Amino acid sequence: MNRNGPGMVDTPADRRRRDRLIRDALQDCPDARVVAAMSVIARHAFVGEGCRGIAYEDRPIAIGGGATISQPSLVARMLAHLALQPGQRVLDVGAGSGWASALLAHLVGPMGQVVAVERLGDLVAAATPRLAVFPQVTLIHGDGLTAKGGPFDAIHVACACPEIPRALAARLAPGGRLIAPVGPADGAQRLWLKDPSGERWLEDVLFVPALAGLG
């Protein structure tokens, strides 16, 4: 069953576009559970109605306030690196539209917990009804880079940190995993992964910058 926001209908055209995205852009995703999550979480429910026709293109989409909903294939790779399991506790920094938070909720299941933090109040207001069908998600208007809490089994960061986020890494549970883009807003960025095997750099990326304070 597709999990949509209030009043959001999942039409046959939406399902065809979603199936095409999965076939064309997610064929190399190493985690079948991530692909399954993307097949049932309707991305068009997390963008404006005017963007519905492009919701299943493999590209980021602006959602207001300088923020974007990230490219599906990149989100899939990031979530695959987190290797999430049912019942785990996850921190989602830069929740934005709430789409990644919904995917995380699907992956950790009803016994898991997702703490989703977004600094822009308008995005929190828009994401709140969308995430209402996921009781395991707690959506917070705050600065995710300085928010309290933990330990977390996984941390997903969807904004570019200017340096390796050691403070966030310190909030991981033993054996936890953290993935985050690192680099300047106007320069080279790369994904950084901390997992039980150590730390390593992954692919080049481009994310909106992490900003301090609330908006």
Annotated catalytic sites, by residue?
A: 70
Query: Is 117:147 a contact under the CB 8 Å cutoff?
Result: yes
User: Which of 60, 23, 61 is CA-nearest to residue 39?
Assistant: 23
Residue 148: name the closest of 115, 107, 197 by CA. Answer: 115
CA–CA gap between residue 27 and residue 23 (Å, rounded): 6
Q: How many CB atoms lie within 10 A of CB 202?
A: 14
Distance CA 153, CA 31 (A): 17
Q: Residue 174 burial by CB count (10 A; 0-12/13-18/19+): exposed, middle or buried? A: exposed
